[in-house]
Structure 1
Amino acid sequence: MTTAEPRAERRPGRLRRMAVDTRPLKHAPYRRLWTSSIVTAMGSQMTAVAVPYQIYQLTNSSGWVGIASFCGLLPLIVFGLWGGAIADTMDRRTLMMLTNTGVAVASLALWVQAALHVDSVALLIVLLMVQQGMFGMNSPARQATIPRLVPAEELAAANALGGTVMSIGSLVGPMLGGALIPITGLSALYLIDACGLVVVLWAVIRLPALPPLGSAPRRAGFGNIAEGFKVGMANSLLAWSFGVDLIAMVFGMPRALFPQLADTTFAHQHLALGWLYAAIPLGSLVGGLLSGTFSRMRRHGLMTIIAVGCWGVAITAFGLTGDLALAVVFLGLGGAADLMSMVFRQSILQTVVTDELKGRMQGVFTVVVAGGPRLADLVHGVGGAALGTRAAITCGGVLVVIGMIALAVLVPGYRDYVAED
């Protein structure tokens, strides 16, 4: 009995260390912002399913799905960079209120066009571009706010919590979307997204004022945006953290091929579509719930390389299988690796950049994180049409693995980076 009791006492401690670190939730402003993200994540992911599905139904082409997503990249780049500069010059709470309202209006317009059966690919692309522009302005302000709401030592945990809640929405949203399309029709998905943004507005309104700090610029001009780029490119840690994500997403994110895979490779089209979109978030959710196993690690550079390498292996395996269950497992493993990579890359940025530059650098981060998958949509859409879906996916995964091996060997400064305590 005496030897068994200490083991029983130690076991809960181990489990707590493995589970997601919830310390940031002690801070009420962060807790409200984090909680509201659950609803909006589900709605936004329903729209992320609805738009490519509607375009594929109108055109019967994965190439058009990729083209439409790529069209959303231009406003994302322009307004992401500009929004990051604005976030350094004005109250970030006010900027989030304005841009969340803009995203909601775009979602309502998507609902109207679907409900009225306009069936115009051009209109869909225009509305997608508007929505992406508003998102591009919102995201830098939101991410730059987090270091003002939690202590520095809890940033990695806060990023893991944010990734976890986004994974919950990204998991439930596609599954609900795939199930609701044949029942309620496509338009309901857009309406749910718009309604969810009301919850986000409530959370943002209750945040404290977040005015600029230190030597922040007074206006968001081209020179201020260029300064953000200059800082990012001059800091090798930031530059390589952006490069790592671009390699992972451009070569390894095959979501543009999901509608075609669901239609031609896997049985039960709507069910398969939902599972394919939900698999990566499901893996991210599991990774987030177990993020205590890695969120306290200090070797952020090496862990990022390992995580992205595992992502590439998982995507390669996904491309080689024709079984839906195995496809979901491999995508799920990739999602867990992607969550780990995001936590460390975001923590690197939030740690090495001062507050008066955080908005602009988060703008660059937003362009990279959200723009990479859109470039991937174009690459995989065209590649899938030329090589076949599974060949394009497999080749992309192999390129990601090769890229991470090269980075680990050739860039020791990034590989050996250790975060300060």
Structure 2
Amino acid sequence: MAATEAVGGTRAVPAWRGGFGRLWTAAVVSRFGDSLRTAALPLLAASLTDDPLLIASVTACGFLPWLLFGLLGGAVADRVDQRRAMWAVDLVRGGLVAAFAAAVALGHATIALLLLLAFALTTLQTLFDNAATALLPALVPAETLAGANARLMTGQQLAGGLLAGPAVPALLLAGPAVPYAADAVTYVLAALLVASLRTGAPERPPRPAGSTLRAEMAEGLAVLRADRSLRWLCTATTLCNIGMGALIATLVVHVTDGHPTGTAGNTAYAATITAYALGAVAGGFLARRIAERTGRIRAVFLAGAVQTGCLVLMGTLPVLAVSIGAMAVFGFMGTVWNVQQTTLMQERAPEGMLGRIAAAFRTLAVAGAPLGALLGGAAAAGPGPHTPALLAAALFALAVASLGPLIN
């Protein structure tokens, strides 16, 4: 049985022993490496071409595989041993990034190679992420899922949001290939940690004779659509992701008042992003307690309502100090939302279907981000650099309103 530990005499959170500690370490190490790579790739792309469309295409390739293969990754995750799938995928990703690091070191990096790498890594991620979501309930008791998700997200935010960013300039001084080599090492370390887990073969109900991956993907969508809570939560998350796409794509323009150049602009942008990361980490520590007081759905509703207020404040009072404070609160509530969302999926998914339901949820939600980025760019180019924050606020308000049927 998975281990738990009491907190305050009444609350249970997952113990670090029993496998969860290794999974947490693997997730944090892997996120650190991923963040090194994702921070370094745009800089490398900018050194290879001055075409903004090509540079942006590198980021776009990080979304496209979710739209193409997200459902497939979930169906496969429900068929295989998730632990084995995760460490095998990480070894493959480590090999790909190591080969890319060698290409960079030898001066053979091209935009085409960057696009191929981004597409391949995210394609593999569709299987890894869905398998990871499905594996966690096998490692911790059901009553500690919220605490486990909060600890995972907090650790990943610390590693990716606060530690990796400052490390990239130092690594680049050692050589342009060093961030990618470090990323390859983290993949291998994560694979070894996951491979050391002893969860046993997953127990699943037998599949009907002749069942196909296509039919199983459709089944995951059907179950998501039939579950009232998950359906409305997915709708709200998709709307929020459109808003997030609009906000993040234009945040540098917002905080620099339309002039994103120079040391002052870089400092303002860095301060805003850091505030968001710090808020997200703090949210991870308190997400479980908030849900215990309000219930999961009400915690999501509260988080979305507060985030809407933050966005309105940013759009109507475009002052750097206001943006920094608003983004800190926005990040805090974002983690509260994400913890409850993931936990609800894990709690409500029928046995043997969590991978497919998580895949359907993620695929629909991720589809909103690139659309939002385009809308945000158009809004910034038209009415002004602070308009995307108000556009995002309107979308978040719609998301909160869509949760109304679940509150009553």
CA contact (8 A) 2:236 2:400 kept: no
Match of 1:241 in 2: 233
Aligned pairs for 1:268-287 within 5 A: 268=264, 271-272=267-268, 274-287=270-283
Deviation at 1:225, TM superposition (A): 0.7
Q: 1:292 to 1:345 in 2, by over 3 A?
A: closer
**Matched AA of 2:161:** L
Q: Secondary structure at the match of 1:23?
A: strand
Q: 1:52 to 1:74 in 2, by over 3 A?
A: same
CA contact (8 A) 2:82 2:131 kept: yes
Deviations 1:135-169 (A, max 9, x none): 11100001101111111111111111111111111
Q: 1:366 to 1:216 in 2, by over 3 A?
A: farther
Unpaired runs of 5+ in structure 2?
1-6
Deviation at 1:372, TM superposition (A): 4.1
**Matched AA of 1:236:** R
Match of 2:162 in 1: 172
**Matched AA of 2:228:** S
State, as a whole percentage, how many aligned pairs show the same letter. 23
Match status 1:34 vs 2:24: yes
Q: Secondary structure at the match of 2:205?
A: coil
CA contact (8 A) 2:248 2:373 kept: yes
Which of 122, 131, 149 is the equivalent residue of 2:112? Answer: 122
Deviation at 1:379, TM superposition (A): 3.9
Match status 1:256 vs 2:249: yes
Match of 1:390 in 2: 386
**Matched AA of 1:358:** L
Q: Distance in 2 between matches of 1:384 and 1:180?
A: 33
Q: Secondary structure at the match of 1:211?
A: coil
Match of 2:178 in 1: 188
TM-score in terms of structure 2 length = 0.85
Deviation at 1:352, TM superposition (A): 1.1
Q: 1:320 to 1:69 in 2, by over 3 A?
A: farther
Q: 1:230 to 1:134 in 2, by over 3 A?
A: same
CA contact (8 A) 1:251 1:376 kept: yes
Q: Distance in 1 between matches of 2:52 and 2:317?
A: 20
Which of 326, 336, 339 is the equivalent residue of 1:340? Answer: 336
CA contact (8 A) 2:311 2:392 kept: yes
Which of 385, 394, 397 is the equivalent residue of 1:402? Answer: 397
Match of 2:357 in 1: 361
CA contact (8 A) 1:100 1:201 kept: yes
Deviations 1:49-108 (A, max 9, x none): 223344455555765555433333221233322121111111111111121123223333
CA contact (8 A) 1:265 1:322 kept: no
Match of 2:289 in 1: 293
Aligned pairs for 1:309-324 within 5 A: 309-319=305-315, 324=320
Q: 1:50 to 1:269 in 2, by over 3 A?
A: farther
CA contact (8 A) 1:103 1:131 kept: yes
CA RMSD of aligned residues (A): 3.0
Stretch of structure 1 that moved more, 69-78 or 127-136: 69-78
CA contact (8 A) 1:248 1:311 kept: no
Q: Distance in 2 between matches of 1:186 and 1:41?
A: 20
- Count residues with an aligned counterpart: 394
Match status 1:131 vs 2:127: no
Which of 325, 330, 347 is the equivalent residue of 1:351? Answer: 347
Stretch of structure 1 that moved more, 259-268 or 37-46: 259-268
Q: Secondary structure at the match of 1:264?
A: coil
Stretch of structure 1 that moved more, 186-195 or 243-252: 186-195
CA contact (8 A) 2:139 2:199 kept: no
Deviation at 1:116, TM superposition (A): 4.3
Q: 1:302 to 1:22 in 2, by over 3 A?
A: closer
Match of 1:43 in 2: 33
Deviation at 1:29, TM superposition (A): 0.7
Q: 1:81 to 1:186 in 2, by over 3 A?
A: farther
Stretch of structure 1 that moved more, 69-78 or 351-360: 69-78
Unpaired runs of 5+ in structure 1?
1-15, 417-421
Aligned pairs for 1:6-45 within 5 A: 23-45=13-35
Q: 1:348 to 1:96 in 2, by over 3 A?
A: same
Deviations 1:370-390 (A, max 9, x none): 554444444434544555543
Deviation at 1:313, TM superposition (A): 2.7
Q: 1:374 to 1:236 in 2, by over 3 A?
A: same
Deviation at 1:306, TM superposition (A): 1.8
Match status 1:148 vs 2:138: yes
Q: Secondary structure at the match of 1:104?
A: helix
Stretch of structure 1 that moved more, 45-54 or 348-357: 45-54
Q: Distance in 1 between matches of 2:37 and 2:163?
A: 9
Stretch of structure 1 that moved more, 240-249 or 165-174: 165-174
Match status 1:327 vs 2:323: yes
CA contact (8 A) 2:70 2:360 kept: yes
Q: Distance in 2 between matches of 1:369 and 1:173?
A: 27
CA contact (8 A) 1:88 1:212 kept: no
TM-score in terms of structure 1 length = 0.82
**Matched AA of 1:345:** Q
**Matched AA of 1:115:** A
Which of 215, 225, 228 is the equivalent residue of 1:223? Answer: 215
